[in-house]
């Protein structure tokens, strides 16, 4: 009871200090923001260990989070040069992600919020990716178009207010990041797939005509056709004993996968009469995609909000940013909130 009373006292500040915690996959991350100003951002990753197994092993991730969470949070507080007592709320990813991994961050956050007598804010990881843009450009305000391209979701959204959005289009099968990871496997590249495809693509020419997904109406995507085309191309060459350039495959795949995202985002901005596109999600860290999107937005005189690469891949600054939105809307979570492995982005249309 005392906890809840104190929480209300902590609500309603204009520039609250929020601790963000993220542990949904293989990054143990903690960050502090004051209003939209980022004070610290700590990411401790178990990716090197996971790479030995070709992907994320959930049990290894959970153990790594257990080992790293104390250090991540304490470093974030220290680097932000604040006292624990200045924290007004704790925002934490409760899903989607690996259940065991999520539980480490969530349990820590509950205990921390309770001990400080401040509200807990359970954050949807993917909404965090979308909120990263608010830290990248402090003047960003809805309405605008969001281009979301991550490992689990690919969508074009009309962000109407801070808490309401409309899905204009989304992937009908694989997400963009998933396609990068599958292409990496076909090309025998190690985990993590996306950055390694990008690295190899730099040495190649994008001269293989892989299909561009969906040139038809609407803003939906499909990545499974592109994935099959890459597999077929490599296997046919191998069966015939013909040499081929893996770098050219990587570069051609990257173009096909990214161009459609840029085209659709710009089309959506025009259709919705929006002068701004904000991007988020791991795939937005891709250098080719960033250049292409920048060029197309400049040409169409659209303002582009592109978070730095380190705020596109998993981090806790974005969780704190989404926490700020929920804090401002007065949306706090009970300490009984549970981890959730799957959270749908929502159905097409208004949310
Ligand atoms: O947004 P994210 O954390 O996924 C979800 O939260 O669902 O991003 C992870 C995805 C992975 O599929 C990874 O391969 C991809 O983002 N990714 C990239 C790059 N960096 C990460 N894809 C292409 N190029 C990159 N540089
Ligand atoms: Zn993520």
Task: Pick the ligand that lies closest to the CA of residue 289.
Answer: 1
Q: Is the pLDDT of residue 162 over 60?
A: yes
180 CA from centroid of ligand 1 (Å): 8
Q: Is the pLDDT of residue 214 over 70?
A: no
* CA 177 to centroid of ligand 1, rounded, Å: 5
Measured by CA distance, the residue closest to atom 14 of ligand 1 is: 194
* pLDDT > 90? residue 292: yes
- HEC string of the chain equals CHHHHHHHHHCCCCCCEEEEEECCCCEEEEEEEECCEEEEEEEEECHHHHHCCCCCCHHHHHHHHHHHHHHHHHHHHHHCCCCHHHCCEEEEEEECCCHHHHHHHHHHHHHHHHHHCCCEEEEEHHHHHHHHHHHHCCCCCCCEEEEEECCCCEEEEEECCCCCEEEEEEECCCCHHHHHHHHHHHCCCCCCHHHHHHHHHCCCCCCCCCCCCCCCCCCCECCHHHHHHHHHHHHHHHHHCCCCCHHHHHHHHHHHHHHHHHHHHHHHHHHCCCCEEEEECHHHHCHHHHHHHHHHHHHCCCEEECCCHHHCCCCCHHHHHHHHHHHHCCCCECCCCCCCCCCCCCCCEEC
Ligand number, closest to the Cα atom of 200: 1
The reported pTM is 0.96
* Ion ligand 2 residue ranges (Cβ < 5 Å): 314
Residue 56 has pLDDT above 80, yes or no: yes
Ligand 1 pocket test, candidate residues 283, 307, 314, 341, most atoms within 8 A of CB: 283
In this prediction, residue 116 carries a pLDDT of 95
**Residue 24 alpha carbon, nearest atom of ligand 1:** 6
Ligand 1 atom nearest to CA at 254: 23
> What tens digit of pLDDT does each residue of 67-97 get?
999 999 999 999 999 999 999 999 999 999 9
Q: Which residues line ligand 1 (CB under 6 A)?
A: 125, 129, 150-152, 177-178, 180-181, 192-195, 198, 281-283, 285-286, 313-314
Q: What is the mean pLDDT of the chain?
A: 94
């Amino acid at each position: 009871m005392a906890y809840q009373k104190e929480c209300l006292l902590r609500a309603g500040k204009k520039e609250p200090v929020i601790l963000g915690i993220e542990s949904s996959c293989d990054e143990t991350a903690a960050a502090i923001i004051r209003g939209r100003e980022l004070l610290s951002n700590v990411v401790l990753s178990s990716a090197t260990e996971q790479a030995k197994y070709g992907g994320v092993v959930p049990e290894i991730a959970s153990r790594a989070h257990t080992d790293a969470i104390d250090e991540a949070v304490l470093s974030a507080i220290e680097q932000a040069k604040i006292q624990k007592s200045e924290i007004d709320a704790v925002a934490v990813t409760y899903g989607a992600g690996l259940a065991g991994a999520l539980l480490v961050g969530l349990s820590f956050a509950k205990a921390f919020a309770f001990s400080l007598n401040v509200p807990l804010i359970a954050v949807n990881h993917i909404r965090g990716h979308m909120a990263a843009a608010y830290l990248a450009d402090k003047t960003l305000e809805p309405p605008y178009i969001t281009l979301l391209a991550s490992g689990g979701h690919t969508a074009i959204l009309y962000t109407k207010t801070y808490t309401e959005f409309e899905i204009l289009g989304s992937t009908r099968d694989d997400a963009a990041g998933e396609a990068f990871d599958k292409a990496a496997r076909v090309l025998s590249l190690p985990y993590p797939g996306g950055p390694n495809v990008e690295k190899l693509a730099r040495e190649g020419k994008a001269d293989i005509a892989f299909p561009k997904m969906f040139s038809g109406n609407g803003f939906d995507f499909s990545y499974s056709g592109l994935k099959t085309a890459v597999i077929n191309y490599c296997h046919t060459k191998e069966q015939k004993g013909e040499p081929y350039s893996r770098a050219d495959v990587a570069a051609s795949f990257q173009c096909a996968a990214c161009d459609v995202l840029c085209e659709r985002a710009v089309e959506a901005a025009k259709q919705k009469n929006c002068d701004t596109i904000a991007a988020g999600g791991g795939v937005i860290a891709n250098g080719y995609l960033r250049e292409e999107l920048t060029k197309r937005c400049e040409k169409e005189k659209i303002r582009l909000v592109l978070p730095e690469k380190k705020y596109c891949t998993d981090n806790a600054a974005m969780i704190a940013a989404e926490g700020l939105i929920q804090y401002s809307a007065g949306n706090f979570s009970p300490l009984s909130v549970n981890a959730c492995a799957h959270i749908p982005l929502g159905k097409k249309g208004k949310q």
